[in-house]
Amino acid sequence: MAVIERVVVTVFTTVTHSYVDEHGHRHPGPPREVTEALLTITDADGASGHCLTKPDTVREAVVSGYLGPALLGEEGFDRERLWHRMARRQRGSQGAFSDRALSAADQALWDLAGRRLGLPVWRLLGGARAEVPAYASTMCGDDIPGGLATPEDYANFAKELVARGYRAIKLHTWMPPLPHGVDRDIAACTAVREAVGPDIELMLDSYHWYSRSEALTLGRALDELGFAWFEEPMEEASVQSYRWLAEQLRTPIIGPETAWGKHMARAEWVVAGACDILRVGVVGSGGITPALKAVHLAESFGMDCEIHGNGSGALAVIGATLSGRWYERGLLHPHSDYDTPPPHLRSIVDPLVDGKVRMPTAPGLGDDIDHDYIAARTVATWESRLR
Ligand code: LLH
Ligand code: MG
């Protein structure tokens, strides 16, 4: 065991084949250069843990003002204690130290622990399963020819996804700035059900700000179509709206995904009866440490907890627990190649084999980071060190 000596964010350029629209939804696009960030925590023995994140999430002021002061000189193996040490600094940061930054540091600490022990994190955390079925999670609807512009586009893509081996598909339908609406959503869900038949599980993640009555109309259509869950059709801050909806639908309601409050917010949703399936994300809810608590909470109530989002952090929690059926593989699109890694990774962490994803076997989180690529394309380094 050894104390933490350095917290470093390396900002580098890489290439992406997607763009994010003005409302934050990702779509396929021509290749373009973007900046990404690698957070690295190094201890006095020279062991390091890493987490890939966004430069805006772990800005220089976050490193010098929060991560460095909370972590430097502390025993790097003490993930639970350090998570609380960091989380207690969020309140006074006036929003500057976000749950996403906390998550990046927490994931890097788990990566460090796994690498030191020579164990994959999912195994270190519990070792519940070595593989998990993946559902295909589509990008949001668009207006791209041959993309996800019409119900027929969704139906055609769904057939292609089944041919690739997926046994479950989640539609993200149209969101602003594009025209959106319950009728369009129902048309897409109906077209996909007709295309894949009754044996493929289907889920819907729709526009997130429907009214109660719009969400009920949409949910009743999903009842008829036999959907496996209905995700985030309303503002998640209104727990009572979700309780109201869940009481009236046969289709299970899943949530919350984006609601603020880490594992504590999940406890409120369970007690309120606002969801039938719990949901938590490693990146959005403060890290592996709180996500694991949410999954254990769900298990205690006899509920499934599905993990939001893809990547090594999600796999760590899914492999460590049994209270959830799926891995969210995506976001996928007819014009997007999910299986080719970006240039800063040597391989993807989640290849699909027979509709399933196997847990990584490398020590730590299992990301296959190309450190030479990152070193050659570094544009900034933000560092806090012990001495
Ligand atoms: O609104 C979106 O773009 C999607 O809902 C996106 O956030 C996606 O990550 C998601 O919700 N997956 O479940
Ligand atoms: Mg979602």
For residue range 145-194, list pLDDT tens digits in order: 999 999 999 999 999 999 999 999 999 999 999 999 999 999 999 999 99
Q: Is the pLDDT of residue 387 over 80?
A: no
Report which DSSP code applies to 139.
P
| DSSP string across 316-364 | HHHHH--S---EEEEEE-TT--TTSPPTTEEE-S--EETTEEEPP-SSB
Atom of ligand 1 nearest to the CA of 175: 1
| CA 257 to ligand 2 centroid distance, Å | 6
> What is the whole-number distance in angstroms between the Cα of residue 33 and the centre of ligand 2?
27
Nearest CA owner, ligand 1 atom 1? 25
**Closest alpha carbon to 99 in 88, 107, 108, 87:** 87
Q: Whose CA is nearest to atom 9 of ligand 1?
A: 309
The CA 279 to ligand 2 mean position distance, Å, reads 9
Q: Are strands 4-20 and 26-43 parallel, antiparallel or unpaired?
A: antiparallel
Kindly report the protein residue whose alpha carbon is nearest to atom 3 of ligand 1: 25
Confidence (pLDDT) at 280: 98
For 259, list phi and psi in degrees, rounded to 5.
-55, 135
CA–CA dist 116, 43 (Å, integer)? 10
**What's the gap in Å between 363 CA and the centre of ligand 1?**
29
Please give the pLDDT value at position 1: 79
CA of 26 to the centre of ligand 1 (A): 9
Nearest CA to ligand 1 atom 11: 205
Protein residue with least CA distance to atom 6, ligand 1: 25
pLDDT tens digits, 186-241: 999 999 999 999 999 999 999 999 999 999 999 999 999 999 999 999 999 999 99
The residues that bridge with 169 in the sheet, in sequence order, are: 136, 202
C-alpha 188/C-alpha 211 separation (Å) is 20
Query: Which ligand number lies closest to the CA of residue 23?
Result: 1
The rounded distance, in Å, linking the Cα atoms of 292 and 296 is: 6
Structural tokens at position 357: 């994803």
Cis check for the bond before 177: say yes or no (omega within 30 of 0): yes
Alpha-helix residue ranges (DSSP H) falling in the chain:
60-62, 68-71, 79-87, 99-117, 121-124, 151-164, 182-196, 212-225, 239-248, 262-272, 288-300, 312-320, 371-376
Look up residue 374 and give its amino acid.
I
Q: What end-to-end distance do the CA atoms of the chain give, in Å?
A: 19
pLDDT in tens, 335-346: 999 999 999 999
Atom of ligand 1 nearest to the CA of 139: 3
Counting ligand 1 atoms within 8 A of each CB, the residue from 169, 178, 205 with the most, and so the one to mutate, is 205
In the prediction, which pLDDT does 133 show? 98
Nearest CA to ligand 1 atom 8: 309
Confidence of residue 34 (pLDDT cuts 50, 70, 90): very high
Calculate how far, in angstroms, residue 209's C-alpha sits from the geometric centre of ligand 1: 13
* Residues at CB less than 6 angstroms from ligand 1: 25, 137, 140, 172, 175, 205, 257, 308-309, 328
Q: How far apart are the CA of 372 and the centre of ligand 2, in A?
A: 34
* Ligand 1 atom nearest 24 alpha carbon: 3
Output the DSSP codes for 247-306: HH-SSPEEE-SS-SSHHHHHHHHHHHT--SEEEEETTTTT-HHHHHHHHHHHHHTT--EE
Among protein residues, the one whose CA lies closest to atom 7 of ligand 1: 25
Instruction: Give pLDDT tens digits for 95-125.
Output: 999 999 999 999 999 999 999 999 999 999 9
Rounded to an integer, what distance in angstroms lies between the CA atom of residue 307 and that of residue 328?
7
Distance 10 CA to ligand 1 centre (A): 27
Q: For residues 71 and 297, what is the distance between their CA atoms, to the nearest angstrom?
A: 28
Q: Minimum-distance ligand to the CA of 284?
A: 1
Please report the pLDDT score of residue 225 as a whole number: 98
Q: Which residues surround ligand 2, an ion (CB under 5 A)?
A: 205, 231, 257
